[in-house]
Amino acid sequence: MDFDNGCCCGCNTADKELAKVNKCPVCGNEGISVSKITVEHLVAGDYRKTIEGDGYRICMNEDCNVVYYNTNSGVKFSKDQVSVPVWFKKDANPKYACYCSKVTEEQVIEAVVKHGAKTVQEVNAITGAMKNSNCKENNPLGVCCHKIIQEAIDKGLNMK
Ligand SMILES: [Zn+2]
């Protein structure tokens, strides 16, 4: 069950409380809720042992060093404690568009610019992206990479 958007007992007072504590402990930006499964899969090696409970968030601020944090337990994981570069963070290298098939934004743009792909399907056929999808574990947000690929296609189309 997922209690991210409210208190598990159904009381109204929790909402305000949650909104206040859901901010990144370092930069203060509001984070996006991420499944514990995703955090467990992507946090590197021994740091995994400190993962407890639910309520993980990811900081979407590109300049912030924090990736995952949990304001309930006070645990946070920075970029160097996560096993993959997070594409929207500054200096992410390589910049993956599809984490499951390890296809980079560069490869997607190349498929658009050099091979004339215009849709996600065409890009997938050329790059092999979105094969064996397991986004829940591989994508830092735990969501399908479809949207990131689309953004990379748009970038490529604008370069033409
Ligand atoms: Zn932050």
For residue range 111-123, list pLDDT tens digits in order: 999 999 999 999 9
State yes or no: pLDDT of 32 exceeds 50: yes
Determine the average pLDDT of the residues in 81-107: 95
Please give the mean pLDDT across all residues of the chain: 87
CA of 81 relative to ligand 1 center, distance in Å? 14
| 18-81: CATH, from 2.40.50.320, 2.60.40.1220, 2.20.25.270, 2.40.50.140 | 2.20.25.270
> Which residues make beta-bridge pairs with 57?
33, 69
CA of 91 relative to ligand 1 center, distance in Å? 15
Cis peptide before 94 (omega within 30 of 0): yes
State yes or no: pLDDT of 45 exceeds 50: yes
Query: What's the pLDDT score for residue 16?
Result: 43
Q: What is the pLDDT of residues 5-30, one digit of tens each?
A: 444 444 444 444 444 558 999 999 98
The H or E element spanning position 73 is: none
CA of 23 relative to ligand 1 center, distance in Å? 8
Determine the average pLDDT of the residues in 50-71: 93
CA distance 6 to 81: 29
Percentage of the chain with pLDDT > 70? 87
CA of 87 relative to ligand 1 center, distance in Å? 15
CA distance 105 to 96: 6
Domain limits, CATH 2.20.25.270, in the chain: 18-81
Domain limits, CATH 1.10.10.1100, in the chain: 96-159
Q: What is the pLDDT of residues 86-97, one digit of tens each?
A: 999 999 999 999
- Do the beta carbons of residue 107 and residue 127 sit within 8 Å? yes
What kind of architecture, by CATH, is found in domain 96-159?
Orthogonal Bundle (1.10)
CA distance 133 to 4: 25
CA distance 10 to 70: 21
CA of 117 relative to ligand 1 center, distance in Å? 35
Q: What are phi and psi of 97, to 5 degrees?
A: -95, -35
